[in-house]
């Protein structure tokens, strides 16, 4: 049996083996159950394969081609977004969509069809992939694109690594004038104001998202800081990338996040803005990737780890559903400092199992307290089900199979593209176990 292994949220622990794939991989290992893996920045069990093997792409990280005229980039699937930015941003190009960490691979970004702060304009990562190669465990290879093998293309985008290994991919990058972002931060009072700000910013701002004080209740429920930004046109001098990096040096024996520290942090953080609006020109790093400045921040939750809960609820039900969810979290005196609320736009996701869809998405961490945490998640799930929403597999270690099948109605179509030699802990939990 393999060694104990965890994903980013350090819950659940699995026992599995790992093998490193190499450049020009010919074959996936011939074992009963293998799973492609990127940088294991998914929070739950979708990048894990308990009792099986993970095939890591961490050494498949070469640039293959980059055209600085058109912004077309071709690379191996294990290349991380951080490496791409280092090369292309000085040449006036940027990622068309980026999640809140740059330490994810291109393969992982495709397989979860990740989204960012510009979903309302650009959709998700898969909308900007022009082609990739898919290697199956039977050794066959397919070139997939919006015009070739399109059903395989759509199954693999957001396909959780289950259709085969993406060996390389091609992306269309976007032009940017420089590395700076013009950022406006608005301290707002309640949930209704969040939705108003979000609506009024859609046409004027490329990037929008809010930090929410998850313990604020009653008339303050949903209060937070609304962030909206655009790539700066002219900046002299350009803001520099911060050099200082912090790290969690040890594993604290207990979670540093508890109701006392959370209440104190949220009150201080919310009130750190004296004015209702502030304007700043910042480097893209702290704007997109604030958490990347603290290496191993996931250790602050102690040895039991944590879970992230990310849902999306349709626009028609979003105000009431997000209100209900936040109220239940505040009543439970739970959650963490890391809470993000954003409204997704209407650009359709390509993937059969893609998570992004029109509506409001809320993401937040919870220290793991066993049944207490799971019981709260059961309550939140019911609100999401009633609202007609969905939960994000990339962040999940809890959802029931019946809910997954309801949230992702194309799971039956998807099954015909699943590679029989590939499986994951997540897939078995939601599709094969009797839940
Ligand atoms: C701090 C932080 C912030 C985040 N913010 C966001 C966010 O804003 N938006 C968002 O959408 N997500 C976000 N995430 C989640 C993260 O972007 C996704 O989980 C991403 O897919 C992780 O990529 P990875 O390379 O680490 O892949 P892994 O986590 O290792 O794998 C993810 C999935 O991709 C599959 N896979 C990996 N490589 C390949 C390949 N070559 N071929 C086929 N399948 C493959 C795996 O089987 C697995 O199913 C965040 C995560 C962190 C830690």
Looking at residue 310, what is its pLDDT?
98
Ligand 1 atom at minimum distance from 113 CA: 11
Calpha distance 402→62 (Å, rounded) = 40
pTM for the whole structure: 0.96
Looking at residue 26, what is its pLDDT?
64
Distance 196 CA to ligand 1 centre (A): 31
Ligand 1 atom at minimum distance from 161 CA: 44
Nearest CA to ligand 1 atom 47: 161
* Mean pLDDT of the 21-33 span: 78
Beta strand pairing call for 129-135 and 141-144: antiparallel
pLDDT in tens, 87-117: 999 999 999 999 999 999 999 999 999 999 9
- Whether the Cβ atoms of residue 346 and residue 280 lie closer than 8 Å to each other: no
Q: What percentage of the chain exceeds 70 in pLDDT? A: 97
pLDDT in tens, 381-422: 999 999 999 999 999 999 999 999 999 999 999 999 999 999
Query: Domain spans of the chain?
Result: 180-407
Ligand 1 pocket residues where CB is under 6 Å: 8, 35-42, 46-47, 57, 77, 99-101, 104-105, 107-109, 111-112, 114-116, 160-161, 165-166, 291, 394
Calpha distance 162→107 (Å, rounded) = 12
pLDDT in tens, 279-309: 999 999 999 999 898 888 888 888 888 899 9
Looking at residue 101, what is its pLDDT?
97
Q: Is the dihedral of CA 173, 230, 335, 218 positive or negative?
A: negative
Looking at residue 322, what is its pLDDT?
98
Nearest CA to ligand 1 atom 49: 160
Calpha distance 81→55 (Å, rounded) = 19
Nearest CA to ligand 1 atom 51: 41
CB-based burial, 295-332: b 16+ in 10 Å, e otherwise: eeebbbbbeebbbbbbbbbbeebbbebbbbbbeebbeb
Kindly tell me if the per-residue pLDDT of 231 is higher than 90: yes
For 180-407, CATH gives: 3.30.70.2520
Distance 394 CA to ligand 1 centre (A): 7
Kindly tell me if the per-residue pLDDT of 247 is higher than 80: no
Distance 41 CA to ligand 1 centre (A): 5
Nearest CA to ligand 1 atom 39: 107
Least Cα distance to 97 among 75, 129, 71 occurs for 129
Measure CA 13 to chain center.
20
Kindly tell me if the per-residue pLDDT of 375 is higher than 90: yes
């Amino acid at each position: 049996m393999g060694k104990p292994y965890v994903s980013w949220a350090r819950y659940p622990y699995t026992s599995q083996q790992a093998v490193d794939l190499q450049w020009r991989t010919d074959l996936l290992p011939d074992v009963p159950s293998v799973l492609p893996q990127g940088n294991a920045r998914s929070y739950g069990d979708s990048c894990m394969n308990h009792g099986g093997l993970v095939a890591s792409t961490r050494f498949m990280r070469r640039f293959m081609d980059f055209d600085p005229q058109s912004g077309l980039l071709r690379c191996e699937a294990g290349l991380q977004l951080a490496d791409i930015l280092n090369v292309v941003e000085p040449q006036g190009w940027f990622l068309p969509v980026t999640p809140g960490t740059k330490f994810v691979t291109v393969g992982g970004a495709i397989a979860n069809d990740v989204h960012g702060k510009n979903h309302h304009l650009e959709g998700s990562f898969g909308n900007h992939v022009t082609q990739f190669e898919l290697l199956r465990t039977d050794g066959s290879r397919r070139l997939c694109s919006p015009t070739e093998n399109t059903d395989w293309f759509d199954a693999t985008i957001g396909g959780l690594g289950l259709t085969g290994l993406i060996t390389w991919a091609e992306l269309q990058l976007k032009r940017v004038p420089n590395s700076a972002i013009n950022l406006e931060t608005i301290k707002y009072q309640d949930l209704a104001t969040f939705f108003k700000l979000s609506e009024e910013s859609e046409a004027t701002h490329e990037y929008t998202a809010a930090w929410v004080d998850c313990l604020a209740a009653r008339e303050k429920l949903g209060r937070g800081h609304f962030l909206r930004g655009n790539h700066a046109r002219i900046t002299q001098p350009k803001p520099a990338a911060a050099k200082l990096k912090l790290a969690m040096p040890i594993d604290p024996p207990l979670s540093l996040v508890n109701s006392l520290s959370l209440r104190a942090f949220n009150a201080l953080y919310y009130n750190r803005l004296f004015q209702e609006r502030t304007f700043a020109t910042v480097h893209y790093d702290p704007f997109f990737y604030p958490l990347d400045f603290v290496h191993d921040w996931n250790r602050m939750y102690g040895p039991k780890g944590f879970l992230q809960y990310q849902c999306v609820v349709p626009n028609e039900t979003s105000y009431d559903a997000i209100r209900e969810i936040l109220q239940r979290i505040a009543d439970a005196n739970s959650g963490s400092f890391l809470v993000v609320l954003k409204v997704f736009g209407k650009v359709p996701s390509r993937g059969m199992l893609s998570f992004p869809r029109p509506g409001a998405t809320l993401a937040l961490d919870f220290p793991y307290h066993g049944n207490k945490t799971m019981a709260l998640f059961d309550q939140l799930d019911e609100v999401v089900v009633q609202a007609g929403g969905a939960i994000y597999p990339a962040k999940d270690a809890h959802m029931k199979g019946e809910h997954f099948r309801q949230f992702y109605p194309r799971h039956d179509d998807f099954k015909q593209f699943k590679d029989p030699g590939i499986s994951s802990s997540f897939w078995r939990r939601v599709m094969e176990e009797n839940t």
